Structure 1
Amino acid sequence: MNLIKKIKNWEQWPFKILYAPIVPVWVWYMIRSRAIWFFTPSNPKLTFGGMEGEPKKEMHDLLPPHLCPVYFNVQPSEDFSVILKKVKEKNISFPLIVKPEVGGQGILFRKINNEEQLKNYHEQVPVEYFVQEFIKYELEVSLFYYRYPNEDKGVITGFLQKIPMQVTGDGIHTLEELIMMNSKSGKRIEELRLQHESNFKRVIKAGDKYMLSYAANHNRGAQFIDLRSEIDERLLKILDEISHSVNDFFYGRYDIMCNSIEELKEGKNFVILEYNGCGAEPNHFYDTGYTLKNAWKEILKHWKVLYQISRYNYKTGIGYWSAVKGFRFRIETKKHYKIMKAADKKIP
């Protein structure tokens, strides 16, 4: 029975299994382009087109400063006193956010509440990371956007509210019991034990929300709420303006914190946490009523756009990465992610 449930719950399938049946289409685009890394011209200013392994500061440097959170980069070898000095200079207060400079999927993403936690993270993290102010806007949203290079106006294909993994107390059950009762968090009990074991036996008051993670990623147990009905010309105008200011950003997903949807459409009170290039998943098919068949259709629709944008840019003189360059980059990126994943299992 459990096996049947796992098979039916396709949204929880491992990435490779979910995408395996449609891989031949990706191979066909490689053949048509005569390039293994046919997608690299899609976003010319992002390393590898933003498929994977791109530095976050590369993205931030392209954005207008007022749209970015306050942050600074840290090398794991830096003296901790220097980090504290930078925190004060940047006027960043606790709590704050830390996450790896090259990363994703919520790996090594942490909310840090005090100096002791920051020191503990710094002493154990093996890779470059950055310290970022904690944004206190009400909503985190995700918007998938693309624009053909020869057009001024783009398209928003998906709009979601992202709610990080949490449980709500009932005044009866302990945190551990609430976690096990939740369909998403119950599957991550060992991961959550590392970060929350000190509160496992605590009974959570009725109505109180307990945040289990601040990483609003689907593979980290976040819940997605479909906002596609909110997509309109005002919202598109905001993303068009941002994408033109970034220059040469044509395909990917924006993750934004905002005070409200209405204020976002007015261009007020929002911050871009990050934007992801051609490696961004059109994640609006999760939690929003898509069937597996329709999810595959949505992915294939986006792959076609990615191919078209990449091909257009190639014809204007932006070359594909060579096979050797791409393979070397991927090998190094995989080594980097392996190191991060190992550390993620140890750092509270």
Structure 2
Amino acid sequence: MNSIQRILHRPFFIKLFNWEYWSFTTVYICIYPVWFLLCLRARSLFFFSASNPSIKNGGFLCESKKDIISIIPPEHHPPTVFFSIPANGDMVLRDLQRAGLQFPLIGKPNIGGRGRGVKVLRDEQDVIDYTHKAYLDFHIQEFVPWKNEAGIFYVRYPDQPNGVITGIVGKEFLSVTGDGKRSILQLLQQSKRALMYLGSLQKIHGNGLNRVLAEGEKLIVSPFGNHARGSKFVDDSHLADAQLNSVIDRICKLIPEFYFGRLDIRFDTWEALKEGRNFSIIEVNGAGAEPTHIYDPKHSIFFAWKEIIRHWIILCKISRMNHKKGHRYLSMKEGIAMFREDKEWSKKLAAMKE
């Protein structure tokens, strides 16, 4: 690696030349005027709250995962147990045992996003530690064994009998392949993507990063399908054929008054998913969902802006249609309270250590 390559391999320059690592504000600031134009058209700064009437705030912010899971058909999501703080680790273990959950498990805050506070729980001690560090209500669910994960964006206008897929993101978990010589840490240091999350990975794996993998041995170092946790997002929107669209439409219509959002799904194969089998919905995101296929490294920031605006326009139209049907927008007081509440949740999520 020459001197120029070494410089470009530093996190600052990786972030500078790859917009997918830019902050939320940096990505969105140039298109905020479009959002405010839509607010003017809807005559509300909080029009989005009417998009999915069965979800708090339309699923824009502060929605409860407990409430959302309760409206998803149980056969389509993993077994889950919810807990309120303060919680006792021994009692949590007892409740998990009663519910029949098996390790490995996943711990998640009841309110959150972008992978914040999410942790793999491999044994009873992990559960006790997670419970002890929980600063807000949380839930624990079985780890879905299917090897693939995707985010499928779905929209349906309230006056239409069927909806459509508007984007699909495939997720490639952050991994390394051993050469029998270098440690996991050394392999990670050779990857520009891994470098952006190295601090987080060191907290998760500790001294385990010093292990040397056998030649050809592949290790997933971050099993989370979140961009903020290292996954590479790939635009698979071309896979949205009539068969897949029909399956997703059928599933989404089982969720009461769900018109706009993204399903995060673990599945075995695309073929099985298109047949409506071997999959599990691990999360439903509403009005605040991004069309995350934009984060495919092959896409420019201009493509991202176009897709975000396209979905904003759809969100506005759906919200206005629901509003005419009698679903109210948040008032100014309620909208401000929502953002304040989200700020408080964010502080608590930041306090939850890896």
Shorter chain as denominator, the TM-score bin is: over 0.9
Query: Shift in Å at residue 59 of structure 1?
Result: 1.2
Q: Which runs of 5+ in 1 are unaligned?
A: none
Matching residue within 1, 19, 25 for 2:28: 19
- Verify: 1:227 aligned to 2:236, yes or no: yes
**Aligned counterparts, 1:49-198, within 5 A:** 49-198=58-207
Q: 2:168 & 2:337 partners in 1: Cα distance?
A: 35
Q: 1:168 & 1:14 partners in 2: Cα distance?
A: 29
Q: 1:72 & 1:209 partners in 2: Cα distance?
A: 32
Amino acid at match of 2:239: E
Amino acid at match of 2:134: V
Match of 2:270 in 1: 261
Q: RMSD of aligned C-alpha atoms? A: 1.5
Q: 1:4 & 1:126 partners in 2: Cα distance?
A: 35
Q: TM-score normalized by structure 1? A: 0.95
Q: 1:189 & 1:235 partners in 2: Cα distance?
A: 36
Query: Shift in Å at residue 87 of structure 1?
Result: 1.4
Query: Shift in Å at residue 107 of structure 1?
Result: 0.7
Contact between 1:39 and 1:320, CA under 8 Å: does it hold in 2? yes
Contact between 2:177 and 2:217, CA under 8 Å: does it hold in 1? yes
Amino acid at match of 1:38: F
Match of 2:308 in 1: 299
Contact between 1:235 and 1:265, CA under 8 Å: does it hold in 2? yes
Amino acid at match of 2:101: I
Matching residue within 300, 320, 327 for 1:311: 320
- Verify: 1:199 aligned to 2:185, yes or no: no
Match of 1:290, SS? coil
Matching residue within 223, 235, 247 for 1:238: 247
Q: Which runs of 5+ in 2 are unaligned?
A: 1-6
Query: Shift in Å at residue 333 of structure 1?
Result: 1.6
Q: 1:269 & 1:191 partners in 2: Cα distance?
A: 31
Contact between 2:109 and 2:139, CA under 8 Å: does it hold in 1? yes
CA 1:200–1:329: 2 relative to 1, 3 Å: same
Q: 1:36 & 1:12 partners in 2: Cα distance?
A: 28
Query: Shift in Å at residue 210 of structure 1?
Result: 2.3
Q: 2:153 & 2:67 partners in 1: Cα distance?
A: 19
Q: 2:232 & 2:269 partners in 1: Cα distance?
A: 18
CA 1:126–1:5: 2 relative to 1, 3 Å: closer
Query: Shift in Å at residue 5 of structure 1?
Result: 5.3
Q: 2:172 & 2:84 partners in 1: Cα distance?
A: 30
Q: 2:338 & 2:168 partners in 1: Cα distance?
A: 31
